[in-house]
A and B are shown apart, each in its own frame.
Chain A
């Protein structure tokens, strides 16, 4: 129960333990804990950043899709327009061609008519001549009546 030398030994031993803990134990623990806290904070920040980036990417994707859809609609519109144009042009071409053919055919017909008429008139002259010679029972001198024959043919 009495105070004796033990007091000094205990006091010094206690102080030595405090110094050892302060020097070799405590800082290591604090360093480890602070390092871990830093890592956790960094991890959380990184997760937050990633989430924000994901949100951005999502928005960008939606925007892109919207733009693509608009563009597709525009392309379809333009294609339709083009198709209409092509159709119109084809129709026009067809009509032109038809008219050209018609004109050609009419010209042909007209030419054929003229030719036929000429041929016919020539033949008519001959027939008339033949008929007349028959009637007259004699040879009509073609060269003598050439003028008359020609006038006749032209009349016909």
Chain B
């Protein structure tokens, strides 16, 4: 934070936090929508490349013989997710298990960026000439909502595929309130409204849950980091805040390991559940 020493403590902290929560952006067109968060996209693509590289390499090397440590580790994840999907999803689908695996591993990796020291990558970025750098892709609503909307599209696709278009659209007007005769027409708009709300809520809750957790986690790391913001060895308070900061950072990091794993698991699990609900008939 260049120039923070000259500012008041409060101003420095505000600027620090604001700076940390600002994406590296590229205005590609007119209007607020035509912006790309370069840092989010770049880190996401980097993590995706690592994941795909490792996974596909492991898959190509996978042999039916005695597995090595690396293969055993990847197989442990693969088999674990495969079994979980089989328990939850009672149909046959080539997509759903790889989808679950991708969600779990990718979300975990993106969340894991939160555990890197909060100033490390932004500092390296500044040295490289980048004015802003946010390193946690899942703390960007665009990422979580983008994934959730993909899942939403897949839910509709699964519904259409497994139920057939006729039942799929018929259900929109006849469930959850079933009726006979004249009441069918009365209840049709109610059912449709409920269905639309139900469908719309899913991607929103999926994305906001993950985003909220990660954003809050990142914010707390930033707040912990501000404890010794602009501190110097000449101030007595530094010697109190230093250990406090270390301790709170340690505790929050340890706790956050649980959160990032849990959130990755929840995103995956809910996706599988939504997809199995979409493919089952009421």
CB-nearest residue of chain B relative to A9?
A: B41
Tell me if A6 is interfacial: C-beta within 8 Å of chain B: yes
B36 to chain A, nearest CB (A): 5
Q: Are A14 and B98 in contact (CB under 8 A)?
A: no
Q: A22-B98, A30-B82 are in contact. Are A10 and B106 (CB under 8 A)?
A: no
User: Hey, what's the 0/1 contact readout for B49-65 against A, CB within 8 Å counting as 1?
Assistant: 00110011011101111
- Report the Cα distance A39→B64, complex, angstroms: 8
Tell me if B101 is interfacial: C-beta within 8 Å of chain A: yes
Tell me if B78 is interfacial: C-beta within 8 Å of chain A: yes
Q: Which of B142-150, B165-173, B252-260 contacts A (4 or more CB under 8 A)?
A: B142-150
- Report the Cα distance A13→B32, complex, angstroms: 21
Q: Are A4 and B32 in contact (CB under 8 A)?
A: yes
What residues of chain B lie closer than 8 Å to A4, measured between beta carbons?
32-37, 142
Q: Are B37 and A33 in contact (CB under 8 A)?
A: no
Which residues of chain B in 57-82 are interfacial with respect to chain A, using CB atoms and an 8 Å cutoff? 58-60, 62-65, 67, 74-75, 78-79, 82
- Report the Cα distance A27→B137, complex, angstroms: 29
Given contacts A9-B41, A30-B82, 17 further A-B contacts (CB under 8 A): A4-B142, A6-B35, A7-B145, A7-B146, A10-B146, A11-B145, A11-B149, A13-B48, A14-B147, A18-B150, A22-B99, A25-B55, A26-B59, A29-B75, A33-B79, A36-B65, A39-B64
Interface residue from A6, A18, A32 paired with B41 (Cβ < 8 Å): A6
B243 to chain A, nearest CB (A): 33
Residues of chain B having any CB pair with chain A under 8 Å: 21, 28, 32-37, 40-41, 44-45, 48, 51-52, 55-56, 58-60, 62-65, 67, 74-75, 78-79, 82, 94-95, 97-99, 101-102, 106, 137, 140-143, 145-147, 149-150
Q: A17-B48, A26-B78 are in contact. Are A10 and B142 (CB under 8 A)?
A: yes
What residues of chain A lie closer than 8 Å to B41, measured between beta carbons?
6, 9-10, 13
Tell me if A20 is interfacial: C-beta within 8 Å of chain B: yes
Q: Are A17 and B35 in contact (CB under 8 A)?
A: no
Residues of chain A having any CB pair with chain B under 8 Å: 1-15, 17-18, 20-22, 24-33, 35-36, 39
A17 to chain B, nearest CB (A): 5
- Report the Cα distance A57→B56, complex, angstroms: 50
What residues of chain A lie closer than 8 Å to B147, measured between beta carbons?
10-11, 14
What residues of chain A lie closer than 8 Å to B28, measured between beta carbons?
5
Q: Which 7 A-B pairs have the closest CB atoms?
A: A10-B146, A11-B146, A35-B64, A6-B142, A22-B98, A32-B62, A28-B59
Q: A1-B141, A3-B141, A20-B52 are in contact. Are A25 and B98 (CB under 8 A)?
A: yes
CB-nearest residue of chain A relative to B144?
A: A10
- Report the Cα distance A150→B63, complex, angstroms: 134
- Report the Cα distance A113→B75, complex, angstroms: 123
Q: Are A32 and B63 in contact (CB under 8 A)?
A: yes
Interface residue from A3, A24, A27, A36 paired with B64 (Cβ < 8 Å): A36
Q: Are B145 and A5 in contact (CB under 8 A)?
A: no
Q: Are B60 and A28 in contact (CB under 8 A)?
A: yes
Q: Are B33 and A3 in contact (CB under 8 A)?
A: yes
- Report the Cα distance A25→B63, complex, angstroms: 13
Q: Are B149 and A6 in contact (CB under 8 A)?
A: no
- Report the Cα distance A133→B220, complex, angstroms: 182
Residue from the set A9, A18, A25 with the largest chain B CB neighbour count within 10 Å: A25
A25 to chain B, nearest CB (A): 4
